[in-house]
Structure 1
Amino acid sequence: MLNQQLIQLISSLTKSEKRYLKVNASVVKTNKMLLRMFDVIEKNKFLSESELIKQLKIPSKSNLAVMESRLQALILRHLRGFHSNSSQEIELHHLLIEIEILYTKRLFKNCTKQILKAKKIAISCDNHLALLGILKWESYIEKEQGKYLLQSQNKLKEILNDETQLLTDYAKLIEYKYHTFNLLLLSKNKVVAQLHKEIEFYDKLVKNGFFEIKTNHTFEDKLYLLNFKGMYFMSKGDLPSCLSIYHKLMLEIESSNKKNILQSNEYFLALNNLLLLEVLNKNYDEYNKTLKKIFSRFSSLIGYKPLLFNVTTCYELGIYCEIGEEKKALAMIPEIENNLKLYDTETNEINKLLFYLNIAIAYLFNEKYSKSIYWLNIFLNDYNIKKNDVGSNIYYYGHLINMIAHFEAKNYDSINYLYNQSVNNLKKIRSLSKFDEAILKFIKKMASQKIALKKEQINSFKELRSMLEEVIKDPKETISLHFFDFFAWIDSHIENENMAFLIRKKKLG
């Protein structure tokens, strides 16, 4: 099997990058065979090792491995040249290399000139680590060139004070980063018990003003703080405040003079979070504008194609399921199936779970129960998920939806077994809530009784609804409704209406 990292790297190259590589690499004769290899792989990315060896007339498999490694190094070397001025961070990295070379050659005047240039860029893009590196070279030059003792001592003290302040600022930044990433991971994995515990801890920090944005905060500080506050309000269920935070984040990014910020990962993720919040706040007109904005900004950037699938398409499918747009969700499935294969290694386990579950829900809404059960089986039996023991609410609620799908498909003989299996698996993740236990017991009871009369079925569902309305008076019991509209399922039996229609009516009016 060919080196998959090499194939992914070649696939990610734009036309301009390929042209730059071929023009510049062809100058060196020894690169001729590597460029031939590049062309062959580019034309057929599914080529086997033996076919490639035959086409290039390579003596052995070990020679192929060496050539793959050399081709990857060649591509990366020329990408460094192509992107040397594409971002301030890359430009800064190159300047730091030049500073070290000039210092080693003892060309201190030239070195000082590059230091001033690098310092200006590092300050403008709030790069604390680069600034610490620059101050290190400034102190080295002062040590080498200091002509006047007092002046040099003052300069070194000034550098020491700057380094101390930078370390203090950087310590705050990494703390903001930790809290933001911590809350993101907990929210993404839907680990409820731990999330509640962390939120109680964060309530105190928020109350003490730890996450308040101040005038002396850098652009990067503000990004972390706004992202944290957005996720914090989301976890608290305060959707209007969360949306307000993401509007502030968008304003912060779009008004920044940072180079290529509007093609950055930060902007991409901020737009996608805004997209989700607009739906949750029922701002559907704004949602459509944001969706178009994401694709118009990023669909032409090759590197973002897997991310557009992983994040935006995943959100879009979930949103259609959330608002009951079952036909739109169904229309997305063929392309999603293709992309799940195409971007298999680039799609994380949580997103795969979300795709599987939402595809199953889309089929459930369209009353295609066998297809829904097929995708729920993939969801529940994914080896990688079981291997990594993802104790998340996504996995938890998959079991409940699986019970509903089998009930709707009238697989009554399987329900008792599925009930026992579900309860055992769910208890491994967390304790059963009263709400979830009531749903499971109801399905088991209805399946065992096999009530034929419609009137009796309707009365049973009405009784379930009344009981659940009492249960959710406890705020802790409402968590289930964030994952699936169980009341729409109940009402579909009471009113003899399609589940998706009832959700759409409720969400869109």
Structure 2
Amino acid sequence: MTNAHKDALFVLVKSLSKSEKRQFKLYVGRLGVNTDAKFLALFNLLDKIKRYDEKIILESGIVKKAQLSNLKAHLYKQILISLRLNPVNQNIRVQIREQLDFATILYQKGLYKQSLKILDKVKSTAIENEEKNIAYEIVELEKIIETQYITRSIPDRANELALQAKELSDQNVMTSKLSNLSLQLYGMMLKVGYVRSDEDYQRIKTYFKEQLPKYKMEDLGFREKLWLYKAYLWYSFLTQDFLSCYKYASKWVDLFYENKEMIYLNPVFFLKGNHYLLESLFYVKYSSQFKETLERLEGILKDKSFPSNDNITSLAFIYLNANKLNLHFLEGTFEKGRYLVRIIEYGVNKHKDRIDEHHVMVLYYKIACLYFGIGDNKSCISYLKKIIDNKNLKMREDLMCFARVLSLVAHYEAGMDYHLEVQLKSTYKFLLKMNDMHEVQKEMMKFLRNLGGIYPGQLNAEFQKLYDQLKKYEDHPYEKRAFLYLDIISWLESHLQNKPVSQIIREKAMTLTR
């Protein structure tokens, strides 16, 4: 039996909406001869079964084992053709590509003038919509046609096309360099998280300076600016310069609001920009603007004119709920955020074929932090266990590390300290293996290890000692990242002041005038 998540055809069939399934059947039935086609019978069977099982398919008599692979490939292709014809998927990018295909067919038939007419019109559309890669393809086809059909109405046509090709090529090269840099920095962020030392910082700084192409701001179009802001954003995240993160995430989002037509052409980038803006605001604790930005984003997503498809729905689910949790963390309203747990669990199951494990684990870590803030330490441990036991999670080593540290603290808070020594050893070994042993973690581990020999009357003094020790790391360039994952200072203050941690955070939020 093949796992449903690993069979691409089955996943595709199950992802179709009712209207898309209906359109596919209409598309297949456009010619009478197709009504009994084997691939339609296979489609109906896959639509009906709940799990992919090759045995069920073969027992149905639709196809023999030797032909199954080819039939599945044919069905997959036919579904994609049907989806392409769906008006919902007919965005400007698809329409430009379609017109280029039409022009290519006309050229191959020797109808040069008709082909050039379509190309000239669609080229303008492509440039207006910042689709410069395809615009370059169009110019290249125009050049080919012009070598066989000379238009006498424009004597310097060859020069015009050559200059246009060079300009588009230069812009595409700039975009490529900036997008490559952005992608590499994003990869570093996912793999190891923030810089951990002066050596790390110098390495990232040198890499960024060497890879950043020279540019003049006035020469950059929408695409180039977008990738430039992305590159600076990831550099700022890596170096933990969160004010710069806020600056470049703001530039990213403002770029879309200044070019509103781009929101509808590039909704995914618009969503991601807003998510990183919210994340930056969370890190700098700018709660009033965080709330305003989140409400504005929610309003846009509810607007019927905003593009809607499976990918956008899945991303909106992740970004909205992760940031709704963050808002409760900022305001210390943990109990009020409890309702989000059921919504997130339902959404993770609903979008499981389109959400990678990394994003799911981030959501689980946030839920664990929510329960920790409420004081439900057993539920906190339960969600952290999902992360710690995940053997497939290769990204975000920092997330794995802090999940283990928070688990230790939650076990202590829950009074489940009978296995604490074993867990301490396991966590210590893990941190050493990940090369992620920092002063904040060392102090936490030392405190937890010594708990067994501390008398109840001495506990408060030990909390105060740890608080004084950690407070000096709160603004340390490399140690402060520990406080992004777990507000250890507020946790200690809650013990020292004998108040719930949520109350401590609420009181801090109220003192912020921003």
C-alpha deviation, 1:371, in angstroms: 2.5
Alpha-carbon distance in structure 1 between the residues aligned to 2:75 and 2:143: 40
Matches within 5 A, 1:114-125: 114-125=118-129
Alpha-carbon distance in structure 2 between the residues aligned to 1:327 and 1:357: 16
Asked if 1 retains the 8 angstrom alpha-carbon contact of 2:119 and 2:138, the reply is yes
Residue of structure 2 in register with 1:32 after alignment: 35
CA separation of 1:335/1:291 partners in 2, compared to 1, >3 Å: closer, same or farther?
same
Residue of structure 2 in register with 1:445 after alignment: 450
Asked if 2 retains the 8 angstrom alpha-carbon contact of 1:353 and 1:395, the reply is no
Asked if 1 retains the 8 angstrom alpha-carbon contact of 2:190 and 2:396, the reply is no
Matches within 5 A, 1:419-430: 419-430=424-435
C-alpha deviation, 1:257, in angstroms: 5.8
Residue 267 of structure 1: which of 263, 266, 270 is its match? 270
Letter in 1 for 2:481: I
Asked if 2 retains the 8 angstrom alpha-carbon contact of 1:276 and 1:319, the reply is no
CA separation of 1:295/1:450 partners in 2, compared to 1, >3 Å: closer, same or farther?
farther
Matches within 5 A, 1:211-290: 214-256=217-259, 258=261, 261=264, 264-279=267-282, 280-283=285-288, 284-290=290-296
Alpha-carbon distance in structure 1 between the residues aligned to 2:89 and 2:379: 50
Alignment partner of 1:324 is 2:332: yes
Residue of structure 1 in register with 2:176 after alignment: 174
Per-residue deviation, residues 279-320 of structure 1 (Å, max 9, x unmatched): 442125404413522541469644423223333323433443
Asked if 1 retains the 8 angstrom alpha-carbon contact of 2:411 and 2:420, the reply is yes
C-alpha deviation, 1:444, in angstroms: 0.7
Residue of structure 1 in register with 2:142 after alignment: 138
Residue 409 of structure 1: which of 410, 414, 420 is its match? 414
Letter in 2 for 1:266: F
Residue of structure 2 in register with 1:10 after alignment: 13
Listed as ranges, the gaps of 5+ residues in structure 2 are none
C-alpha deviation, 1:487, in angstroms: 0.6
Alpha-carbon distance in structure 2 between the residues aligned to 1:302 and 1:398: 30
Alignment partner of 1:372 is 2:377: no
Per-residue deviation, residues 18-68 of structure 1 (Å, max 9, x unmatched): 4443333321224324445545544554475555666x6525455555443
Alpha-carbon distance in structure 1 between the residues aligned to 2:85 and 2:368: 46
Asked if 1 retains the 8 angstrom alpha-carbon contact of 2:367 and 2:380, the reply is yes
Asked if 2 retains the 8 angstrom alpha-carbon contact of 1:275 and 1:290, the reply is no
Residue of structure 1 in register with 2:497 after alignment: 495
Per-residue deviation, residues 182-213 of structure 1 (Å, max 9, x unmatched): 2333334415248634542377579x99576x
Percentage identity across paired residues of the two chains: 20
Per-residue deviation, residues 194-250 of structure 1 (Å, max 9, x unmatched): 8634542377579x99576x2331111121123333444444555455434434433
Alignment partner of 1:398 is 2:435: no
Letter in 2 for 1:286: E
Matches within 5 A, 1:161-200: 161-189=163-191, 190-193=193-196, 196-197=201-202, 199-200=204-205
CA separation of 1:11/1:278 partners in 2, compared to 1, >3 Å: closer, same or farther?
farther
CA separation of 1:290/1:10 partners in 2, compared to 1, >3 Å: closer, same or farther?
farther
Residue of structure 1 in register with 2:62 after alignment: 58
Listed as ranges, the gaps of 5+ residues in structure 1 are none
Alpha-carbon distance in structure 2 between the residues aligned to 1:423 and 1:439: 11
Alignment partner of 1:338 is 2:351: no
Letter in 1 for 2:388: L
Alignment coverage as a number of residue pairs = 497
Matches within 5 A, 1:306-317: 306-317=314-325
Asked if 2 retains the 8 angstrom alpha-carbon contact of 1:268 and 1:294, the reply is no
Alpha-carbon distance in structure 2 between the residues aligned to 1:306 and 1:84: 17
C-alpha deviation, 1:113, in angstroms: 0.8
C-alpha deviation, 1:86, in angstroms: 2.5
Alignment partner of 1:355 is 2:363: yes
CA separation of 1:305/1:269 partners in 2, compared to 1, >3 Å: closer, same or farther?
same
Mean CA deviation greater in 253-262 or 474-483: 253-262
Mean CA deviation greater in 460-469 or 370-379: 370-379
C-alpha deviation, 1:85, in angstroms: 7.8
Asked if 1 retains the 8 angstrom alpha-carbon contact of 2:11 and 2:353, the reply is no
CA separation of 1:473/1:245 partners in 2, compared to 1, >3 Å: closer, same or farther?
closer
Letter in 1 for 2:508: K
CA separation of 1:376/1:241 partners in 2, compared to 1, >3 Å: closer, same or farther?
closer
CA RMSD of aligned residues (A): 3.3
Letter in 1 for 2:230: N
Asked if 2 retains the 8 angstrom alpha-carbon contact of 1:276 and 1:315, the reply is yes
CA separation of 1:337/1:78 partners in 2, compared to 1, >3 Å: closer, same or farther?
same
C-alpha deviation, 1:356, in angstroms: 2.6
Asked if 1 retains the 8 angstrom alpha-carbon contact of 2:58 and 2:64, the reply is yes
SS at match of 2:148: helix
Query: Given the two structures, how large is their TM-score scaled by the length of structure 1?
Result: 0.86
C-alpha deviation, 1:442, in angstroms: 0.7
Query: Given the two structures, how large is their TM-score scaled by the length of structure 2?
Result: 0.85
Alpha-carbon distance in structure 2 between the residues aligned to 1:247 and 1:61: 55
Letter in 1 for 2:296: T
Alpha-carbon distance in structure 2 between the residues aligned to 1:391 and 1:82: 38
Residue of structure 1 in register with 2:298 after alignment: 292
Residue of structure 1 in register with 2:82 after alignment: 78
CA separation of 1:230/1:320 partners in 2, compared to 1, >3 Å: closer, same or farther?
same
Alpha-carbon distance in structure 2 between the residues aligned to 1:100 and 1:466: 72
Residue of structure 2 in register with 1:434 after alignment: 439
Residue 98 of structure 2: which of 86, 94, 101 is its match? 94
Letter in 2 for 1:174: S
CA separation of 1:191/1:235 partners in 2, compared to 1, >3 Å: closer, same or farther?
closer
SS at match of 2:287: coil
CA separation of 1:477/1:241 partners in 2, compared to 1, >3 Å: closer, same or farther?
closer
Alpha-carbon distance in structure 2 between the residues aligned to 1:114 and 1:346: 37
| Between structures 1 and 2, the one with greater helix share | 1
Mean CA deviation greater in 160-169 or 58-67: 58-67
